[in-house]
Chains A and B, each alone.
Chain A
Amino acid sequence: MVLGREQLSIEFVNQALSGNRRSLAKLLSSIENGELDSNSIGLDGHDDDGTIIGITGAPGVGKSSLIEKLISHWSTQGLKIAVIAVDPSSPLSGGALLGDRIRMDSADSNSNVFVRSFATRNQPGGLPKSVGLAANLMRKCGYDLVLIETVGAGQSEIRIVSFADRVVLIESPNSGDQIQAEKAGIMEIADLIVVNKSDLPNAERSAMQITSALQISGSPTCVLLASAKTGEGVEELASQLLSIPIKMGAEVARARERLLAAWASSLLSREDISKIINDISSGEVDAEKWVLNNLRWYDE
């Protein structure tokens, strides 16, 4: 059920802050629907303290399975973990099948864990802007760590840096020859790279290729081997994740992605957005011309 703005009282926020799961779940829906912003919940910004962690990587590399291993490891140490699992919305129907929970056994049985599925709702960059506020709210509601799992992402999808303090890139063995590791993009932004499925042959070789490629570029990034299947390497990954220094030099990329996310979100929340899209798809209006004619406020 969607909460109307008028129904949202400070009491409601207070219930969520004091640990009420249903209140938190309702607030997250309102955030997702764009009915709430940080001012209306009374949340100040998140200080990049390393507690919001982005997990990204191509489809099928094992992001959800590795997250399950991480959250069960951390929760046995007494930490409370929240997860935002993002899956794509259909560009045609607007519907979505959100299936990341299936691989997270702790999601519906561990009281120290809160998993929430988000659909992209066709926001560019593969991550809705609401994810940032949602993660911030979860932190304030007593979750020590918030993991954001992106949609299966490609080489240049780096929107996650605008929401997460640290970004982990998951790779799998045999995901390309050395030249793939040399290419620019997400690999340069990641604070930590994990080659998952270390139980498979060639995992070590993949890790070595990535390590050597990143050494040349002068930004040595920690590359770890892990297996969500056997649990090997998970403990080290969990401790590294909390201790590696936050990578410097990503601030410009972070700021740029934040700007783009805010820009896209304000464009898509225009009341006449459906009409604009229809006009463009029918050929009546040219997309680039429309932008030039209608979004010239920055010149004024």
Chain B
Amino acid sequence: MRIVIAKPGLDGHDRGAKVVARALRDGGHEVIYTGLRRTPEQIVRTVLDEDADMLGLSSLSGAHAFLFPRICELLKQEGCGDVTVFGGGIIPVDDRSELYRAGIRAIFGPGTKMQEMIDFVNEVKNRIDVGKPVGVGEGGDWFWS
């Protein structure tokens, strides 16, 4: 899978994003890291040009409630509704149902085992193979839990 790992907004902490990128690389995936402080438009542009299958968003600054749904919306507008979006960082449990509604398929908090992320990617792959919805714009109520 081709996976973009992105840091939206003004959050300057990317240790977590880099560790995730590395783990996915070791899981056999091609990972493109955007670098820090990207706007939603820049992230969507990267997903588009790189023809990514998945997008991982990392946020530790509390801006996820605005930025994540905005990115999901732009992806759908740009015809990237088949891209699977997942998130990570400091995302309070109370905020999560709203993000799932926006089309995000998994949220990984602190303490997540790397193997769990690999399992999630494999599950997405399996679902694509049998035609079940996984994309940000494909609807359905499936999310990783």
Residues in chain A within 8 A of chain B (CB atoms): 1, 21-22, 25-26, 28-29, 89-90, 93-99, 101-102, 107-109, 114-117, 119
Contact = CB atoms under 8 A, between A and B. Distances in A.
Interface of B: 2, 21-22, 24-35, 38, 41-43, 45-46, 48-51, 53, 78-80, 82, 128
A102 B24 contact: no
Across the A-B interface, the 4 shortest Cβ-Cβ residue pairs: A102-B35, A108-B42, A95-B25, A25-B51
A1 B51 contact: yes
Between A29, A90, A95, the greatest number of chain B beta carbons within 10 A of the residue's beta carbon is seen for A95
B33 A109 contact: no
Given A21-B49, A25-B48, A26-B51, A101 B26 contact: no
Main secondary structure of the interface of B (DSSP, over half): mixed
Given A101-B34, A101-B35, A116 B49 contact: yes
Between A22, A98, A99, A119, the greatest number of chain B beta carbons within 10 A of the residue's beta carbon is seen for A98
Contact of A109 (B2, B42, B80): B42
30 contacts: A1-B128, A21-B48, A21-B49, A22-B48, A22-B78, A22-B79, A25-B48, A29-B2, A89-B30, A90-B26, A90-B28, A93-B26, A95-B24, A95-B26, A95-B30, A95-B31, A96-B25, A96-B31, A97-B33, A98-B31, A101-B33, A102-B35, A107-B49, A108-B46, A109-B41, A109-B45, A114-B49, A115-B49, A117-B50, A119-B30
Contacts of B43: 108
Contacts of A95: 24-31
Contacts of A26: 51
A93 B49 contact: no
A29 B51 contact: yes
